[in-house]
Amino acid sequence: MQTSEIKRRNFLKIAGLGGATALIASGAVYQMTKVSSDAKAKVVVIGGGAAGISVASRLMRWLKTPDITIIDPSDRHYYQPGFTLIAGGVYSPDEVWLNQKDCIPSGAKWIKDSVVALDPDKKNITTAKNGNVQYDFLVLTPGLVLRWDLIEGIDESTLGNGNAHCIYTHNGAIKASKAMKEFAQKGGKGIFTDTYTKHKCGGAPKKVCLLTEHQSRKNNRRDALDINFYTASKQLYDVKYFTPRLLEIYQERNVKLNLNTRVKGIDTVAKKALLQTVKDGKVIKSVYEDFDFMHFLPPMTAPQFVKDAGLSVVGGKRDAEMWVDVDKGTLVHKKYPNIISLGDVAGIPTSKTSAAIRKQVPIATLNLISLMEGKQPEQIYDGYAACPIITDYGHLIMAEFDYQKNRKNTFPFSILDMSKESRMGWLLKVYGLKPMYFYGMLNGLA
């Protein structure tokens, strides 16, 4: 307990910003003595991202004799919410990552490899280089896949060609930063898009758009830019409490809003985007639009091995996206009760954000321990997610909501009207959330 308290004090010191400290004081840090279980089983975690590492850290703390193996091929662990701030010039590229070996919880085994197949009936995992791995219980957190193959004319290796960018990779964010700055100075036509599948951090495309717009105003060049935002959705935002002010911001800043529109292809030589208007699942219009700067998102799906293993949702409009078919409350797989899944890969009706994962982790971990003890899972996740939508350099709207799209209130935001822009939210986003992630959440402390 003494060692845990030292780590906790260090975390509080690192996260010392008032807002972050307030979140911790309000109960975000779980006591190290909250759970102490005698349950014994071999637990394998597929994926060493936010969800996988955080669950593994909890298990290492809450099981008396943990047997935890993490399978992940990465050398680096990225704080992906920071990619937007790299693009915006707020963070340097090296501020958002740590070596993966330093993020693996002490005592856990790390197999540095990729999963190529999974057989849930035989409880067997096939890796690319290390053969087969058996498990008793599985934590399925491989994240999602950026489907560059579903956008014609561009892929991850050619990001930046023709001034078409995507900040959803570290290198992509670095390239976009220079291009955003130049576009905001020079002017021209800008196209900003999201995508038609469920995707991580749904607010990021809006943030990139609004940060670019603000840069142009700071350069006294706003009149030189024609800014167009395309969303594949039927509305700009689907949480009613926050939508009115967002719409006002787009109108006030003369950002042209286009609904029900997706990117089909990008001609990086001609600098044209093929955009399709889709209603009721049918393409009703296809047009080529010129651009001088473009930020787009590729569609996103679960890894193919999830579907091949029979673990994905079947039926409905999300069928092709292959998300893991879990109970949205307990996060336990609907067919295989020895599998827990959370994070970006989970087929649950909430946003794919780090804030959502932070709330899912203790629930998933406690339910997994209950299953290991031969009990029924009792902890229920209410769908909480948070999306800090940056509206300019210095302000954001902190959108917090649940499965029903009802507004949620976490201290200190419960005392503020977060349907409007907040300076406190910006300070927390820039200075508080990253240390909370690296030194709190990944260590099982927040």
Among 70, 293, 103, 302, CA closest to 188: 293
Judge contact between 214 and 395, C-beta under 8 A: no
Give pLDDT, residue 4.
36
Among 191, 197, 145, 204, CA closest to 164: 191
Tell me the average pLDDT across 297-313: 97
Q: Give the integer Cα–Cα distance in Å for 341 and 339.
A: 7
Judge contact between 350 and 313, C-beta under 8 A: no
Which runs of E-coded beta strand occur in 271-371?
Answer: 272-279, 282-290, 293-295, 300-301, 339-341
Q: Are strands 109-111 and 395-401 parallel, antiparallel or unpaired?
A: unpaired
Give pLDDT, residue 47.
98
Does the active-site annotation cover 201?
Answer: yes
pLDDT in tens, 362-402: 999 999 999 999 999 999 999 999 999 999 999 999 999 99
Tell me the average pLDDT across 283-308: 97
Using the predicted structure, report yes or no on whether residue 409 has a pLDDT greater than 90. no
Give pLDDT, residue 17.
44
Q: Give the integer Cα–Cα distance in Å for 190 and 221.
A: 13
Q: Give the integer Cα–Cα distance in Å for 199 and 342.
A: 14
- Is it true that the peptide bond before 303 is cis, omega within 30 degrees of 0? no
Within 10 Å of residue 428's Cβ, how many Cβ atoms?
Answer: 24
Does the active-site annotation cover 387?
Answer: yes
If you ran DSSP here, which 8-state letter would residue 31 be given?
P
pLDDT in tens, 196-211: 999 999 899 999 999 9
pLDDT in tens, 91-135: 999 999 999 999 999 999 999 999 999 999 999 999 999 999 999
Q: b vs e for 63-98, b when ≥16 Cβ sit within 10 Å of the residue's Cβ?
A: beebbbbbbbeeeebbbbbbbbbbbbebbeeeebbe
pLDDT in tens, 9-38: 444 444 444 444 444 433 444 444 478 999
Using the predicted structure, report yes or no on whether residue 68 has a pLDDT greater than 60. yes
Give pLDDT, residue 342.
98
If one compares 8 and 91, the residue with the highest pLDDT of the two is 91
Using the predicted structure, report yes or no on whether residue 2 has a pLDDT greater than 80. no
Mean pLDDT (the chain, rounded): 92
Amino acid letter for position 159:
L
pTM (whole model) above 0.95:
no
Q: Look at residue 413 and give its three-state secondary structure.
A: helix
Give pLDDT, residue 258.
97
Q: Give the integer Cα–Cα distance in Å for 154 and 63.
A: 47
Give pLDDT, residue 394.
97
Using the predicted structure, report yes or no on whether residue 8 has a pLDDT greater than 80. no
**Tokens describing residue 20:** 């972050």
Maximum C-alpha span of the chain: 66
- Could you tell me how far CA 136 lies from the centroid of its own chain? 28
Tell me the average pLDDT across 253-277: 98
Give pLDDT, residue 32.
45
**Tokens describing residue 120:** 């849930």
Tell me the average pLDDT across 331-335: 98
Q: How confident is the model at residue 316 (pLDDT cuts 50, 70, 90)?
A: confident
Quick one: angle between helices 50-62 and 354-372, nearest 10?
40
Q: How confident is the model at residue 411 (pLDDT cuts 50, 70, 90)?
A: low
Q: b vs e for 6-36, b when ≥16 Cβ sit within 10 Å of the residue's Cβ?
A: eebeebbebbebebbbbbbeeebbbebeebe
> What order of strands is seen across the sheet that includes strand 137-140?
109-111, 68-71, 43-46, 137-140, 339-341
